[in-house]
């Protein structure tokens, strides 16, 4: 079962860990913990509209749940580090935006899964 990080202390602990993977728009932070949990940080600076931030968070959690069986146990935080261009994605919650987010998130988690020595991949 994949839990969600909820408290500031949990997020701070993960940010004190290390950056383990990145894509043009996302960074993935990790700290070893006895349970598997994921959090998402989507700053207003990079996603102005609440509907866009919520859409990106939903995609983060959906891809994280799908990849959970392939990564080491611990706490992970996915952080948006660059804006998705409003010229390319004028709608706040369009299917092309969702697809672009999913592609990058899948790439991010695939990098981590390949580097996970403790997990047997099916």
- pLDDT 10s digits, 28-52: 999 999 999 999 999 999 999 999 9
Please name the residues in contact with 103: beta carbons below 8 A apart, sequence gap of 6 or more.
none
* pLDDT attached to residue 121: 38
CATH of domain 3-114: 3.30.230.10
Average pLDDT for residues 47-62, to the nearest whole number? 95
**Tens digit of each residue's pLDDT (9 = 90 or more) over 63-110:** 999 999 999 999 999 999 999 988 888 888 899 999 999 999 999 999
What's the confidence (pLDDT) of residue 122?
36
CB 4 within 8 A of CB 39: yes
- What does the alpha-carbon distance between residue 104 and residue 122 come to, in Å, rounded to a whole number? 22
């Amino acid at each position: 079962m994949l839990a969600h990080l909820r408290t500031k202390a949990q997020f701070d602990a993960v940010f004190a860990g290390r950056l383990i993977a990145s894509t043009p728009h996302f960074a993935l932070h990790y700290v070893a913990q006895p349970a598997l949990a994921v959090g998402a940080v989507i700053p207003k600076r990079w996603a102005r509209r609440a509907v866009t931030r919520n859409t990106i968070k939903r995609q983060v959690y959906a891809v994280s749940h799908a990849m959970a069986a392939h990564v080491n146990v611990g706490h992970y935080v996915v952080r948006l580090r660059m804006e998705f261009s409003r010229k390319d994605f004028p709608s706040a919650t369009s299917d092309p935006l969702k697809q672009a987010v999913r592609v990058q998130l899948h790439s991010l988690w695939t990098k981590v899964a390949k580097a996970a020595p403790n997990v047997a991949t099916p």
